Amino acid sequence: MRAIMAGVDVTEPILAARRLTRIVPNGRSTLTILHDIDLEVMPGEVLGIVGASGSGKSTLLALLAGLDQPSSGAVVLDRVDLASLDEDGRAAVRSRLVGFVFQSFQLIGSLTALENVMLPLELQGRLPIARIRERAVALLERVGLASRLQHSPRLLSGGEQQRVALARAFVVEPRILFADEPTGNLDAATGAEVIAMLIALNRERGTTLVIVTHDEAVAARCDRVVRIAAGVLAPGTLVAGTDRGLRA
């Protein structure tokens, strides 16, 4: 019998990359950023993708999230082959399934914290504004910002801005969340608090989390770690389905 978590088949990957390759022009030649990446991510898993600057980890995240297209290979997200879709189709999948947290927060400076969190749901246009506000307020309270609802990003510390970004990512109730160096602009203590909150929110909501990082302390919080170097998964990297739950 298949294992089911909140109505989700947890024996089948929510995300899979098959022989994923990304090649870009480089003057008169080409540069291979990623080469033959095979990777699976299981529902509810917290996966860390670790590598040095220039290793290809952020490019891999962009391909997995459907923000970019591979030169060859495939990405299957929640049984949808992203290569079979045009940009509008991929955007629709992201809107339905995906949340993002970025190193630079990417909050809109002219909006308050509350308005930033409400915005993704307003763009979806599926809920009445009162319900959108209720969900946004609840998440901002959950991340400890109940007294900062009407503050603009410039009045918030870096850690507070990233907490707003966490609330914005989770307010759409994503199936999978991608975090690209989420502590990169934070000091060590604040970064540790943000990662703890990110993983706690992920556990509470049954979301799948993929974290790209160069920080070993962040990687240590993940269920599983894959390491990338020079565009390939490093020898000995664990692949989902084999010794799941151990760390590379």
pLDDT tens by residue, 191-201? 999 999 999 99
**Per-residue exposure over 40-50, b if at least 16 CB sit within 10 Å of its own CB, e if not:** bbbbbbbbbbb
Of 1-15, 48-62, 198-212, 217-231, least confident by mean pLDDT is: 1-15
Check whether 87 has a pLDDT greater than 80: yes
Model pTM score:
0.87
Closest CA relative to residue 48, chosen from 233, 241, 242: 233
Cβ–Cβ under 8 Å, residues 36 and 232? yes
Domains and CATH numbers, the chain: 4-227 (3.40.50.300)
